Amino acid sequence: MKMAGEIFRTTDHCGSIKIEHEDVNPMFVYYSLHAIREENRLDRELRANLKNIQKFNIRFPIKVDENKKPVIVTLKNKKTGKMEEFNVLDSELQQKIVEYYTEFEEVKAEIYRSALHINGLEMETIKD
């Protein structure tokens, strides 16, 4: 994953996503796409190209009011110029989810490093 300002080249197997709204956490998008890849076994045989990936949706957590109803805002659609209603995304919950998966990945990496270390150990032979 490349963060804003990092130079990269889009290829036929490595596209790009431009996040245009500040209430969308890019790491939430990353982990959501990672989960989609794992759940649908996207790999070298079933590639995560534009054709295959367009059938999937990322479900964003939305803010709810005290009655558990979605918080809605009315905004002007930049393309059509019409006023439309949109759910307000829950940025705090996105961040909590990101922190959970980030910690999980860190623990997983530590386990992997430990396993490599254990795998490299050799038992000394017992001598009389």
Q: Is residue 18 part of a domain?
A: no
- Tell me the three state secondary structure of residue 125: coil
- Structural contact between residues 37 and 103, judged by C-beta atoms closer than 8 angstroms: no
Q: Is residue 121 part of a domain?
A: no
Q: Which residue has the higher pLDDT, 8 or 56?
A: 56
- What residues make up the domain containing 30? 26-116
Model pLDDT, residue 41 = 80
Model pLDDT, residue 73 = 94
Model pLDDT, residue 1 = 63
Biggest distance spanned by C-alpha atoms of the chain: 88
Q: Is residue 50 part of a domain?
A: yes
Q: Which residue has the higher pLDDT, 63 or 12?
A: 63
Q: Is residue 32 part of a domain?
A: yes
Model pLDDT, residue 65 = 96
94 pLDDT above the threshold of 80: yes
Q: Is residue 16 part of a domain?
A: no
Q: Is residue 105 part of a domain?
A: yes
- Structural contact between residues 102 and 27, judged by C-beta atoms closer than 8 angstroms: yes
pTM of the model: 0.72
Q: Is residue 66 part of a domain?
A: yes
